[in-house]
Amino acid sequence: MARPLLMWYGFLGGAAAWALQLVLGYGIEDSACSQGSSDTKSWIVLVTVLLGAAALGSSVAAFLTWSWAERRGDARGAVTFLGLTGMLAGVFFLVLIALGGLQLVSLDSCHQG
């Protein structure tokens, strides 16, 4: 049971972390703007780092899935494909999470008016 969960986390974990970072990051920013506060940088950095680690973990899980499939001899190639795709997607979504967090931290989007 652990292998399929690891395989699917490796394949979908980076995308889920990125989607969650989008929702939480912009939600934190928007709630602070509606309250007139701009002290959200630490929360945004925390969310970005935690979800970046989740995306990196999905790449590691995909690598473990791929290496396991290579050792066992994946006849159809489906598990190998999911492992390789998950490794690339995890790194891609890690970059997107980092850029999204950088944008939220560096730009002041809370203009009341």
Is residue 111 in some structural domain? no
In a domain, 89, yes or no: yes
Within a domain: 88: yes
pTM over 0.95: no
Q: Which residues contact 58 (CB under 8 A, 6 or more apart)?
A: 9, 10, 11, 12, 13, 14, 17, 86, 89, 90, 93
What pLDDT score was predicted for residue 49?
96
Q: Collect all residues with Cβ–Cβ distance below 8 Å to 40 and sequence separation of at least 6.
A: 28, 29, 32
Domain count, the chain: 1
Segment 6-54, tens digit of pLDDT: 999 999 999 999 999 999 988 888 887 766 666 778 888 999 999 999 9
Q: Residue 76 falls within a domain, yes or no?
A: yes
pLDDT at position 111 is: 63
**Residue 85 domain-assigned (yes or no):** yes
The residue segments making up the domain with residue 22 are 2-31+39-106
pLDDT at residue 17 in the model: 97
pLDDT, one tens digit per residue, over 57-101 is 999 999 999 998 888 877 788 888 999 999 999 999 999 999 999
pLDDT of residue 37: 64
